[in-house]
Every structure is written in C-alpha cells, then in structure tokens.
Structure 1
C-alpha cells in the first residue's frame, strides 16, 4: 500500500505510539516466520524507527530525512505562536513541500513535542544496531545539519547525503534505493553466522 493510503489521520508527534504500532507489525510478520532484515521509514517515520530502536531489539534501521530537533521543525512551519495558530478547531493541516498530502498538527501533538527528546532517544540505541541516515542536501523541511546530529551520537551509524535531493527525493529515487539496498545487504552480510 502506498504511503498515507491507510485509514486514519496522519498527525505530527505520537512517536512512542508509532514505535509501538511498528512493534505490533513486526511481531505479526515474525509470527508468520517472515524475516525482518531491518526497518526503514521516511521523514516523521524516521523518528519512530529511531524511537523503536531505542526500545526494542533490531539489527538494522534506516532513517530517511528524519528530523533531529522536533520542536524546531514545528516552530519553523507554524511559528512561535503555535497554539494560537491552531485556532478554535485545535488543529491545522499542513501540506508537504510539493503541495501534496497533508498532515495534521494538533494541540496534543505540540504538547507532546517537549516530551520527545531525540538526543536521549538515540543514546538508548544498542551499539550493535546498524543505523543509516540518508539526507537530501536540498531538503527544505529537514535541514541537512540535522543528519549530522544523528551521526554524532548514534554509535554504529552511517550517514549518506544525496546531493541535490529534496525531502521527497522526487528526482533521486533510484539513488536513494541504491543507498538503502547497499546498506541492508552489507548489514545482512555482517549478521551471517561464521561458517564452520
């Protein structure tokens, strides 16, 4: 199913809930004897896979364009007077960089942001978990400097910058796919037991 075609409202925040939802999906597939070689998510999903890796055992994680400083991101989009801008409805729908699918920012989401510290989260990722962060050099939603913050604190981390790519990797999808596949294949090779 393509991104955002599932039911429900796509909201900002609730990263712990998303990590727990991801856990339920992984447990389901694992119970059917499917091998989960790693988890990959983009943008907001990058935060939830890192949150997942800080809570649960996982060998390989790919964070594509996930933001390091969550509060700075919402302030950038809505300004310092966030709560007033959410208005009487208590929410505001935002469009992505291409004017496409939106996500909802609610008062509850904004109040959850101070409780989500990506620095502390990343410090809890096991040193054996292999993490790749991929970031577009021209990403206007998640500045490239955010990716370098992950590289500073996650112990078993690789960083790849895709030159010229924006947040959606519209003209760089083949390069993105190649980077991710190369990382996962290398990770699987490392995890193979030594032959006797």
Structure 2
C-alpha cells in the first residue's frame, strides 16, 4: 500500500525545492546581476548620483533639497516637503479651487520676492512636480532669481548669470525634455564662486 500523498516525502521535495530555487535564481541572482550591470554601465547613477564635499555626502543630483534665504537659488515647491520617503504630488486637479488659490498665492509671493511682474513667474516656480522631488528648474526660473541672489551675495549680475548658464543642461540626448538647471549643483557652484571673493 502506497503512503498517503501528504505523508510521501518524495511528493514534498519538489514543493519545497522549486520555490527555494526560484527564490535564489529570481530573487537573489537576478537582483545581483541587475545591480552589477547597473554599477558597471552607470556607476554614478547606480549609487544615487551623490554629490560630495571631500568625504561628506551633501546631497543627490537626482533629488530636490530645500534652499531658503535670499542667497540661494530655490527649487520647485514640494508637496512631499522634500522628503524622499513620502514623494508625491499635490494630487489636486487644475480645476480645484484650493489648487487655484495656492498657485495664485505662490505667484504673488514669487513675484514679490524676485521683483518681477506676476506674468513673468515661470510655472515651475509655483507648481510641484509629480513626485514632489524634481531637482531641476527651468532656465527661466533660474534667471528670475539671479538679481535676488546677486544682491544678497554682493556679486555682479554678470557673474551669477554666467553661473546659471554654466549649469544649464540641454535636452536629454539633444531630443528629449527641456533645458534644465540642477538647483543643488548651481548652489554648489555659487558657493564655490563666493568663497573665491
């Protein structure tokens, strides 16, 4: 008489071995291979595009950081409070009265701070990106901040404008997206230039 199927060790072996092998191949080997290839092909991006000052990590070129005060270029607003663990947009439709009021208030505040008419405030200075952590602003958003930053640092408009131009990246591969300015990189360049004076 053959043993009951639930008591047959030969019947249990495939049920235990197959998931274990699948876990090792798909869960571990695939992940290690993917990580290894990413590190080989894109070493900087695979480790988070970290920016360092000496041995100290000061941020990532891929994640927005809050900068406040007149001496710094400011990033886009963040619905996530610049917290990578809670990345999110505002999830408010363009027709939402609260969103309209928030944007109108932000336009007035940016226009006042930068000394420009409200009609000249770029959209990206008053709206969040989808994830709330976009590290880049448009060249127009950087340009309207030049006068404030130059005044606060006692630098010439020409010098600050040159830093913006030097830190403006073109379209990805010359085709995709729009020209952009990484705020963290620009502020680091600004700080380095200011330290020379």
TM over 0.5: no
Which has the larger strand fraction?
A: 1
TM-score of the aligned structures, taking structure 1 as reference length: 0.29
TM-score with structure 2 setting the length: 0.29
Higher helix share: 2
1 or 2 for the larger relative contact order (CA 8 Å, sep ≥6)?
A: 1
